[in-house]
Structure 1
Amino acid sequence: MLPISLSAQGGFPVNGGTAMTSQPAQASASAPAGGMFESNTFLEMANRVFDPSSDSMDFENGSFEWKGKNFNLSEQRAFRSRFERFLLAAPTEEEAQYAQLMADIIERLAVSNDNSDDAILDTWQLLFRASRFDLDGGNSTIVANQVFNAWRIRKESRGVSMDQRELQQVRKYQQEIVANRAMSLKSIREKRLRESSSGQRDDSESTSTGTEAVTSEAAFRMLDLAETEAKILALETQSAMTGLQAKLQFQSQIVSFMIQRRFEHALVLAGFYQSIFKGSHQALEVGKDQLQEFLPGSDLSFTVDSMTFIAREAINDVNKGVEAVNAAYSEGRNLIALERLQEVFFLGEYLTELNKIPTQQRRHMLDLYRGLIEAGELAEAKDYDGVSELAGEIAKLADDFPKNRVLSSVETAKSMSDMAVFAASQYRNLGDIDKARAELQTAIDIWPSNPAIREFQHETTKLATAGSQGIQIFDDLYKRMDRRGIYERRMDLGFALAEDTQRRPLLMEVVEQVARIDLLVSQSRELVKQGESYAAWELLVEAAKIDPSDGPMNQARAELAPRVADFVLKIDRAQRQAEDGHHAGALAAYLAAQDIYPVSRLCRQGISRETEALMAGLRGQE
C-alpha cells in the first residue's frame, strides 16, 4: 500500500516494500550509492550520543557487568521505570536512620567485636527494628527467621546429643553383660568336656541344662545391644540431617541476597552464619550454578567468606561511585555523571548510599535522561529537525554533550537526501523511470520528511503525460473486475491516478484485495511445506471469497485439491445441503469433515450456522 500512499501525496510512486539498489548514474545525473549513508552510520553515532547507558549495561543481552561479575538486567522498560522513580524521589530522614541502623548491625557482627551469645542476641533483636522501615522490604525479618531457625535446630541437636550419651552408657553396660555371658558359656563348655571324659553322666545332664540357659540369656542380651546400636545410629543420622538442613537454608538465602543485589543483608546473614556454624562449615553447598553465572570464569572458592568479600567490595564500589557522580556533576560533566549514576544505581539500588545524591541533582539528571531517550527515538525515526532542536536543549543540560558533532551529522544526512532527490530528478528528466524511482527511495530512506521529496512528487505529477491513458486502462480493467491486471499495473496506475479523488480509493481497494490474496496463497504454500494441507486449503477458500477468478489462487487450489479431496468433498456436500435447506444433512456433512480435520474453522462455522438453523426450524414447528 506504500506506493499508493506516496502517490496520494501527489508524487512519484515508490515501492516501499524493499529498498531498490541504485545503478551507476550517467555523468550528468550522478547519484550517491545506496549504502553510502548507512556506512556513514548516523544512527550508530546517534546511539552512542543519545544512549545514556554505560558500556557495562547491555540491554540487548539483558546483562550488567561489574568487575567480571554479571547481573541479570530486567527489561529496559522496567529498569527505566525504577531509575526514573529514583530520580523523582528525594532523600528522607527515615532512609538516613535505616542506613545508620544497618551499618550498626554490620559493625556488631564484625569479627573484631564482641561475639558472645548475649551480643549476638542483641544484634539479632535489632533486625526487627530494621524490618519496620519501608526501605528494608521485610528482608531483615527473613534474616531473623533464618537465625532463629538455626538456633532452634542447634538446641534440638543438643537434646539429641544428651540422648546419644545416655544410649552410649547403656550400650557399654550391655556390652559388658554380653561379654560376661560369653565367658560363662565358655567356662561351662570346658567343664562339660572334662566331665564327659571322666564318665559322669548325671552331672553332664545338669551341666547341659545350665549351658542352654546361659546361651538363651546371651542371645537376648545381644538383641538388646543391637537395638541400642540402631538407636544411636538413628540419632546420629537425625543430628547430621538437621544440622545440614539449617546450613543449606542459611547458604541458600545468602546466595539469593547476593543475586538480588541485597549486599547489606547478605553481609548480615553471613555474619550470623559465621557466628553460629563452625569454621569447617564455611564452604557453600548450594547455589554453585547460580554463582558460576554470577562470577563467570572466576576461580574463587565458593565460601561464605568469599560472598562476604564480594558484598563488601560492591558496597565500597557503590560508595566510591556516588562520590564520582557528585564530583562529575559539580564539574559540569553531566553526561558522564549520568552514565556513572546508572551503573551505581543498578549495582546499589537497595543501598542507602544513593541518598547522598541531592534532590536538585536528581531532577537535573532526570531531565537529561529523558531528553537523551527522546532524542534517540527521534534519531531512530530520522526526524532530523527534531533532533537538531532537541540537541540544543540537551546541550543546555550537559556541557559535555557533543552538540556540534550531532548537528554536523544531521546536516550530512540532509545533504545526502537532497542529493538523492536531485539524482532522481535527473533520471526522471532523462526518461529512466526505474533509476529515478530507486533514487527517490534512497532519499526517503535517508530522510523521510525531506521537503524536497514532496516537491519532486508534485513536479512529477505535473509532468505526467500518460494520465488520461492510465485512467482509460483503469476503467477498462475495473469494469471487467480484472483485479490481478490492476495490481500488476499498480505503479503506473498510481502515478496516473495520483490526483484522481474518485478512482484512487478504488485502486487502493483493489491493491489491498490482491495483496491479501497473495498473502493467503503464500501462507498456504508454507503450510503445505509443513504438512498442513487442510489448513492451507482453508486459507485458499478465504482467498476465493475475495476474488474467485484470481489466477494464482486458482492454480494453488488446483495443485492442492488432490491432497484434500476427501475433506473438500464433504465440505461441498455440506454447502449444497445447506443451500437446499437440508440443515440436518448439512450438519452431518460438516461433522464428517470435522472428523478429517478437527480444527477446521470452516467446519466450526458451518456447524454453528447449521445448528442454529436447525434449532430455529424446530422452534418454528412448535
Structure 2
Amino acid sequence: MKPFYTLLLLSGMAAGQGGVYVPPPTAPVTPPSQDTTVTRPQQPDKKSPLGSELPMLDPSAETITIGGMTIPLGDNRILKARFEKYLSQPPESSEEAMEYRANIKDILATISPLRQGGPQLYEAFKKLPSAGTYPGDANICSSLAEAIYVAMLAKQDVNGLKGLNDSIEQEKKALTAKQDWETSHNRSQMLDQTTRTNQGTTTQQVEREGTGTKSLAYKDALRRIVEIEALKKKNILQTEVQTIQAKTQYQVNMMQWFAQRRYEHVLMASRFYNQIWKDGDSALRIDKNSDVSKLFTQSVGMSPTVSSLDSFSNDAIREVDKYIEAFNLMLTRGELHSASQRLMEAYAIGEYLGPVASLSLDKKLRVAAYVRDLHELYGSLEAHDYTRAKTLADKLKTDAKDFPSSKVDSAIAGYTLASDLAIEEAKAQLLSKNNDKAAEKIKAAAEIWPTNPKLSEFRQMIGAAGPLVTARNDFDRLLTEKNYREILRRQYELAPAIQGDPGREDAFKQIITNLTKIETALGKAAEFSKMGQSCAAWEQLAELRESFPDDPKLGRELELLAPNVSQFTNALDRAKQFENRDQKQTGSALAWYLKAKQIFAGSKFADQGIKRVLNDILPEDGAGATSSTK
C-alpha cells in the first residue's frame, strides 16, 4: 500500500486546481429575452458607383434644349452609335459639297424678304432641283420643289374657283337688273274676282297669271339667282378646303424636316410658304394631342406656327456654330473631355449643318479615340473590372487634362478596398475554422471585384493550406484529449497553423511553457538520481506535481523513484498524518519530520513541516525555534 503523501501527489484530486493547460473562463450564456427585437441588416445598395453620372453616358439624356424649347433626340443608344459613325467618316469638304452649301445659301438669299427688290419665288424655285442632286441632301430639296409645285397647282385651282364665282356673280347681277327693268315696265294685269258667301258677295282685284311677278320668266329668274348663290357658297367652301389641304400637306413636310434636324430646308420651306400664301395664316394644323404639338406647347407654352419653326431653325443653326467654335477652342487647350461634349451637342442639334459635316477628320479621330475609351471605362465599371478601369482612367487623364476623374477614382479606390478587406477577413475566418463565414466573405469580395488579383492568391492559399488546416485540426483534437505531450512534440509543426488565432495561441503558449518547466525539473531530477540523491530528485518532482497533476510523464517518473525513497516518503506521510489530526500530535509529527530530515538532510518538505510544528508549539518566538533546529 502506497503512503498517503505519495497517493496524494500521484492522484488526480488536484486536477481541478491546476494543470499543464487551464482553459480560460467561459462567460455565462444569457438566454435571449422573448421581448428581444431582431434587427435584420439592410441589404447593401448594389448601384453602380457612378450610376448614370458619367458625362456623355447618361441614358436619361434624350432631350436637348434650344432657345427654350426641349427637342427629343430619340433613343440615346442610337444617337451614340450614329455619333461614333460620324466620328469615323471623312468630312464633307469636297467641291460638290461646297457647291451644295453655296446653292442653299443662294436659295435662302433669293427667297429672303430682306432681298433688295423683294423675294423672287420663281428664281429660287428653279435652283432647288440642282441642290437636290447632292447625295448629302437626301433629295429633300427635290421634295420641297414638289411640295411647292403641288401648292401652286392647288392655288391655281383656288384662283379658278374664284374666277368662276366672279363670272356667276356677274350673271346674277345681269339677271337681277333685267328682271328689275321688266318688272318696272311690264306691270301686272289686275282682274276683278267675285266671291260669294252666306253673308253676301265680295269683289277683290288679283294679279293675272302669266304677267308681272306671276310670269314664268320672273320665277325662272328667281330660281337661277338661288342656284347662283348656292354655287358661290359651294365654290367658296371648296376653295377654303383646298387651301387648308394644300397648307396642311406643305406643313407636314416642314414638320418632318424639323424633326430630322434639317433646319436649312425648314427655313427655305418657311420662306416659300410666306410667298405662296400671303393671307397671313401661318398656324400649323396639327393634332393638339400629337407629340409635335406637345413639343411646342410644353416647352414654350404656345401653339406652333410657321414663323416659330423659322425662328427655332435659325436659333439651332446659331447654336451649332457656337458649339463648333467652342469645340475648336477647347481642343487647342487640350480640354478633350469638354471638347467631346461640345461636339456631341453640336451633332445632336444639327448633324447635317455645314460646320458639323465639314469638321476635319483628324479632330474627329481624336474625339473618337477618347469617346471609345470613355465608353470602355464605363463598361469596365459596370462589369466591376477595376483593374482595367484604373488603366483607362489613367489614360484618359493623360489624354484630357479636364477629365473629371474624382468620381471614377473614388469608386475604384472604395470598391477595391472593400474587396481587399473582404478577402483578408475571409483569410482570418478560414484560419479560425469558420468556413461558412469565409465562403460568405470571399463571395462578397468576388461580387465587388471579380478580377481582384488577390482572389487568385486566396485560391493558391487554399490549395497550400491543406497541411495547415490538418495541423490546426490536430491541435484542437489534442487539446480536447489533453494530450499536451504530443503538442509539445509537434510544436514546430502546429505553431504556424494556429498563428493569428488568439485563443489557440494562448493555449499553445501555456502548454509549451508549463511542459518546458516540467522537462527542466525532470532533467534536474535525473541529475540528482545519477548522483545517488533519489530523495532530492523526488522532492524536485513532487513539488512540481502539486502544480501539474495531469502530466503523465511527471507522474511516471515519481512512480519510478518511489521504491528508492519509500522510507523518506513514509516518514513525511506519518508526520503529515499526526499534524493533520483533529487533536494534533505535534510531538509525534515533529519526531517524524526529524526522521525524514535525518534521511535527507536537504529536504524542503521536512523543513517546512518542522517550521509549522514549531509555530504551533512556540507561536510567539517560533522564528527563533525554527532557526535553532536547522
For this structure pair, what is the TM-score category when the shorter chain's length is used for normalisation?
Answer: 0.5 to 0.7
Change (3 A) 1:70 1:425: same
Matched, 1:108 2:110: yes
CA shift digits 1:537-561 (9 cap, x unpaired) = xxxxxxxxxxxxxxxxxxxxxxxxx
Match of residue 436, structure 1, among 415, 435, 438: 438
Q: What is the letter of the counterpart of residue 129 of structure 1? A: S
CA shift digits 1:235-255 (9 cap, x unpaired) = 222222222211112222222
Q: What is the letter of the counterpart of residue 166 of structure 1? A: S
Any conservation in 2 of the 1:326–1:357 contact (CA below 8 Å)? Answer: no
Q: What is the letter of the counterpart of residue 420 of structure 1? A: A
Q: Secondary structure, in 3 states, of the residue corresponding to 2:215?
A: helix
Any conservation in 2 of the 1:64–1:70 contact (CA below 8 Å)? Answer: yes
Q: Secondary structure, in 3 states, of the residue corresponding to 2:284?
A: coil
CA drift of 1:86 comes to: 1.7
CA drift of 1:170 comes to: 1.2
Matched, 1:417 2:419: yes
- What is the CA–CA distance in structure 2 between the aligned matches of 1:210 and 1:73, rounded to whole Å? 78
- What is the CA–CA distance in structure 2 between the aligned matches of 1:368 and 1:278, rounded to whole Å? 52
* 1:387-398 equivalent positions in 2, closer than 5 A: 387-398=389-400
Match of 1:140 in 2: 141
Match of residue 306, structure 2, among 301, 304, 309: 304
Change (3 A) 1:297 1:347: closer
Q: What is the letter of the counterpart of residue 273 of structure 1? A: Y
Match of residue 352, structure 1, among 348, 354, 360: 354
Q: Secondary structure, in 3 states, of the residue corresponding to 2:70?
A: strand
- What is the CA–CA distance in structure 2 between the aligned matches of 1:213 and 1:77, rounded to whole Å? 82
Q: Secondary structure, in 3 states, of the residue corresponding to 1:112?
A: coil
Any conservation in 2 of the 1:109–1:115 contact (CA below 8 Å)? Answer: no
Change (3 A) 1:67 1:442: farther
Deviating more after overlay: 314-323 vs 386-395: 386-395
CA drift of 1:265 comes to: 0.4
Any conservation in 1 of the 2:61–2:76 contact (CA below 8 Å)? Answer: no
TM-score, scaled to structure 1? 0.61
CA shift digits 1:53-80 (9 cap, x unpaired) = 4xxxx53364334444333334344323
Q: What is the letter of the counterpart of residue 257 of structure 1? A: W
| Larger RCO: 1 or 2 (CA < 8 Å, sep 6+) | 1
CA shift digits 1:350-385 (9 cap, x unpaired) = 111214532211111111111111121112111122
CA drift of 1:441 comes to: 2.0
Deviating more after overlay: 266-275 vs 216-225: 216-225
Q: Secondary structure, in 3 states, of the residue corresponding to 1:187?
A: coil
Any conservation in 1 of the 2:101–2:354 contact (CA below 8 Å)? Answer: yes
Q: What is the letter of the counterpart of residue 229 of structure 2? A: E
Match of residue 375, structure 1, among 371, 374, 377: 377
CA shift digits 1:166-217 (9 cap, x unpaired) = 10111122333454566689732xx3249999xxxxxx99984544994333
Q: Secondary structure, in 3 states, of the residue corresponding to 1:280?
A: coil
CA drift of 1:106 comes to: 1.4
Match of 1:531 in 2: none
Any conservation in 2 of the 1:328–1:334 contact (CA below 8 Å)? Answer: yes
Q: What is the letter of the counterpart of residue 306 of structure 2? A: V
- What is the CA–CA distance in structure 2 between the aligned matches of 1:227 and 1:36, rounded to whole Å? 85
Match of 2:257 in 1: 257
Q: Secondary structure, in 3 states, of the residue corresponding to 1:387?
A: helix
Change (3 A) 1:232 1:67: closer
- What is the CA–CA distance in structure 2 between the aligned matches of 1:110 and 1:373, rounded to whole Å? 45
CA drift of 1:410 comes to: 2.4
* 1:444-523 equivalent positions in 2, closer than 5 A: 444-460=446-462
CA shift digits 1:383-435 (9 cap, x unpaired) = 12211222233233222224576456424322211101111222333344443
- What is the CA–CA distance in structure 2 between the aligned matches of 1:114 and 1:403, rounded to whole Å? 56
- What is the CA–CA distance in structure 2 between the aligned matches of 1:206 and 1:421, rounded to whole Å? 123
Q: What is the letter of the counterpart of residue 121 of structure 1? A: Y
Aligned length: 418
Quote the sequence identity (%). Answer: 23
Structure 1 residue ranges without an equivalent (≥5): 1-32, 198-203, 469-622
Any conservation in 2 of the 1:52–1:335 contact (CA below 8 Å)? Answer: no
- What is the CA–CA distance in structure 1 between the aligned matches of 2:406 and 2:299, rounded to whole Å? 42
- What is the CA–CA distance in structure 2 between the aligned matches of 1:72 and 1:404, rounded to whole Å? 30
Any conservation in 1 of the 2:429–2:438 contact (CA below 8 Å)? Answer: yes
* 1:241-280 equivalent positions in 2, closer than 5 A: 241-280=241-280
- What is the CA–CA distance in structure 2 between the aligned matches of 1:302 and 1:73, rounded to whole Å? 19
CA drift of 1:290 comes to: 3.3
Larger radius of gyration: 2
Match of 2:282 in 1: 282
Match of 1:14 in 2: none
Any conservation in 2 of the 1:178–1:222 contact (CA below 8 Å)? Answer: no
Match of 1:341 in 2: 343
Match of 1:83 in 2: 83
* 1:128-207 equivalent positions in 2, closer than 5 A: 128-179=129-180, 187-188=188-189, 191-193=190-192
- What is the CA–CA distance in structure 2 between the aligned matches of 1:339 and 1:363, rounded to whole Å? 14
Any conservation in 2 of the 1:106–1:267 contact (CA below 8 Å)? Answer: yes
TM-score, scaled to structure 2? 0.60
Matched, 1:52 2:56: yes
Change (3 A) 1:329 1:226: same
- What is the CA–CA distance in structure 1 between the aligned matches of 2:210 and 2:345, rounded to whole Å? 89
Structure 2 residue ranges without an equivalent (≥5): 1-40, 197-203, 471-630
Change (3 A) 1:271 1:464: same
Match of 1:562 in 2: none
Any conservation in 2 of the 1:292–1:298 contact (CA below 8 Å)? Answer: no
CA drift of 1:318 comes to: 0.5
Q: Secondary structure, in 3 states, of the residue corresponding to 1:228?
A: helix
Match of 2:69 in 1: 69
Any conservation in 2 of the 1:383–1:449 contact (CA below 8 Å)? Answer: yes
Q: Secondary structure, in 3 states, of the residue corresponding to 2:154?
A: helix
CA RMSD of aligned residues (A): 3.4
Match of 1:366 in 2: 368
Q: What is the letter of the counterpart of residue 169 of structure 2? A: Q
Any conservation in 2 of the 1:300–1:306 contact (CA below 8 Å)? Answer: no
Any conservation in 1 of the 2:320–2:349 contact (CA below 8 Å)? Answer: yes
- What is the CA–CA distance in structure 2 between the aligned matches of 1:212 and 1:407, rounded to whole Å? 106
CA shift digits 1:558-590 (9 cap, x unpaired) = xxxxxxxxxxxxxxxxxxxxxxxxxxxxxxxxx
Change (3 A) 1:230 1:207: closer
Any conservation in 1 of the 2:267–2:310 contact (CA below 8 Å)? Answer: yes
Change (3 A) 1:265 1:239: same
Deviating more after overlay: 354-363 vs 59-68: 59-68
Match of 1:234 in 2: 234
Match of 2:217 in 1: 217
Q: What is the letter of the counterpart of residue 164 of structure 2? A: D
Q: What is the letter of the counterpart of residue 320 of structure 1? A: K
Q: Secondary structure, in 3 states, of the residue corresponding to 1:42?
A: coil
Any conservation in 2 of the 1:418–1:443 contact (CA below 8 Å)? Answer: yes
Change (3 A) 1:196 1:448: closer
Q: Secondary structure, in 3 states, of the residue corresponding to 2:300?
A: coil
Matched, 1:126 2:114: no
CA shift digits 1:579-609 (9 cap, x unpaired) = xxxxxxxxxxxxxxxxxxxxxxxxxxxxxxx
Match of 2:552 in 1: none
Any conservation in 1 of the 2:62–2:75 contact (CA below 8 Å)? Answer: yes
Q: What is the letter of the counterpart of residue 254 of structure 1? A: M
CA shift digits 1:255-277 (9 cap, x unpaired) = 22212211100000000011111
